Amino acid sequence: MNNLPKHLKFFGPLLVLTMLQLSACSNATATAVADQSGMDSAGAKPQNSGRSGYQLQVLKNCKVLSERALNAQELKLYQELQLAEQRMKQLEAPLKQMEAELATQSKALEHVSRQIEQQAGQRQGPDPTLLQAQAEFSNKISAVVDSHQADIDALSSQGQYIATVATEFEQLVIKPLDKGSYDQIRLYPQNGQAPEDCQQGMFFSASR
């Protein structure tokens, strides 16, 4: 839309970026702190016992090649990821509120902008009252985004932190493994059972 004010042109990419940040942060933690549902299905008992509370499996072609408990360093990083996930959920709350606030304003703005676009070819040009309404909605959107800028920055920072810790954990786990020697690395609670389905569970890495 050529008649969109600069506020709207700015808002679109920013909202997309914010949503991508939410998605990226969720993906960054999904492999580290996953829903435990489905892990209670019947399966093989752990062959290695340990006191970390989590068992690590290395799989190749859907077969378990090795299995062990997390060591102290791995457990420390995993616990950091769990805490980071809890913090992430707290940080996401105000941005969900921002989404709701923006939805109403952006819908109204889109409606007005469509009307302006339809009138753009007329000799007298778009109705000035529509242009004024467009500017007002755009300003309201910018105000909402500005009011949540600290929340956006905090979420982005937390996402970067999670990505750093997750990468450190992954590199620590795969360090003793040869490249191409495994398909997946799976983590599950020691007080549970390993899922029978090799595609089920918490996966941290795929062989590169």
> Across residues 108-119, what is the average pLDDT?
91
Task: Please state, in angstroms and rounded to a whole number, the distance separating the CA atoms of residues 46 and 56.
Answer: 9
This prediction has a pTM of 0.66
What pLDDT score does 90 carry?
93
> Across residues 191-198, what is the average pLDDT?
80
Backbone dihedral angles phi then psi of residue 185, each to the nearest 5 degrees: -125, 125
What pLDDT score does 52 carry?
63
Confidence of residue 126 (pLDDT cuts 50, 70, 90): confident
Backbone dihedral angles phi then psi of residue 58, each to the nearest 5 degrees: -110, 125
Tell me the pLDDT tens digit for each residue of 62-80: 899 999 999 999 999 999 9
Please list, residue by residue across 151-162, b when 16 or more beta carbons sit within 10 angstroms of its beta carbon and e when fewer do: bbebbbebbebb
